Amino acid sequence: MKNLVIIGASGHGKVIGDIAVRNGYEEIVFLDDNESLSECAGFLVAGRGDDFIRYPDRDFVVAIGNASVRQFYQEKLEAQNYRVVTLIHPQAVIGRRVEISPGTVVMAGAVINSDARIGKGCIVNTCSSIDHDCLIGDYVHVSVGAHVAGGVSIKDRTWIGAGAVVSNGVAICDDCMIGAGAVVVRDISVQGTYVGVPAKRNGHE
C-alpha cells in the first residue's frame, strides 16, 4: 500500500491530495499547525507539522505556498532521511530529458518541455508552462496560467504570479515576486516585487 503524509492542509493541499490519489496513494493523512482542522478534502488532519516523526515509513510532500516555510519543512524532512516525493498529475505533459527534483508538484494541464531542470520543492501550477532549457531553482512557484519561455533562469524561492509571462532567455534572481499578469522582458537582478507590462520593480519607474 502506498502511504503519503502531506504537510499543509490548505486549498493547495487539497489539490496535492487529488494528485496523490491519481498517483496511486491509498492512505493519505495531513499535518497542519492549525489545531482547529480535523479534515482536508476528506482526509484526516492527524496532527501538527512536526508530528511527521510519527510516520517514519511513509512518503512526504510539503503543501505550503510560502516558499520559506516550504523549504523549512522539506529540509527538516531531508535532514532526517524521510522520503520526500515528486507528484505529477497524469494530465500534465512532461517532455524528454526533463529533470524534476524531490518535493516538486506538477498540476493538471501544466507543460514542461525538453531539457528543463526543475529544483526541489517547486510548484508548477495548473495550466502553467515551462519551456525548453529552463533552469528553475529550488522552491520556485510558477502560478496558475503563468508561462515561462525557453532558456529562462529563475533562482530560488521566486514566485511567478498567475498569468505572468517571462520572455525567452531572461534571468530572474532569488526571492522575487512577479505580479499577476506581469510581462518580464529583461533580466531581474534586484530582489523585490515586479508588476506591469513590461514588469518594473514596485515603486520604481
3-state helix, strand, coil in the chain (%, to 5): 15, 30, 55
Write down the pLDDT at residue 205. Answer: 57
| 27-51 confidence digits (pLDDT tens) | 999 999 998 999 999 999 999 999 9
Predicted TM-score of the model (pTM): 0.95
CATH number assigned to the domain comprising residue 52: 3.40.50.20
Let me know if residue 204 belongs to a domain: no
Residues 76 and 90 in one domain: no
Grid cell 501550477 is found at 125
23 and 103 within one domain: no
Burial of 89: CB neighbours in 10 Å, binned 0-12, 13-18, 19+ = buried
Q: What are phi and psi of 122, to 5 degrees?
A: -85, 160
Choosing from 132, 141, 147, 204, the catalytic residue is 132
- What whole-number distance in Å separates Cα of residue 13 and Cα of residue 110? 17
Spans in the chain with pLDDT lower than 70 = 203-205
Q: Are 106 and 119 in contact (CB under 8 A)?
A: no
Q: Do 56 and 24 share a domain, yes or no?
A: yes
**Residues 31 and 41 sit within 8 Å (Cβ to Cβ):** no
Structural domain boundaries enclosing 69: 3-85
Rounded Cα–Cα distance for residues 79 and 200 (Å): 38
Decide the pairing of beta strands 193-195 and 200-201.
Answer: antiparallel
Q: What is the DSSP string of 120-169?
A: TT-EE-TT-EE-TT-EE-TT-EE-TT-EE-TT-EE-TT-EE-TT-EE-TT
pLDDT for 204 equals 60
Q: How far from each other are the two terminal CA atoms of the chain, in whole angstroms?
A: 56
At residue 1, the pLDDT reads: 75
Q: How many domains does the chain have?
A: 2
Active-site residue 89, yes or no? no
Is 75 within the bounds of a domain?
Answer: yes
Domain endpoint, select from 40, 60, 85: 85
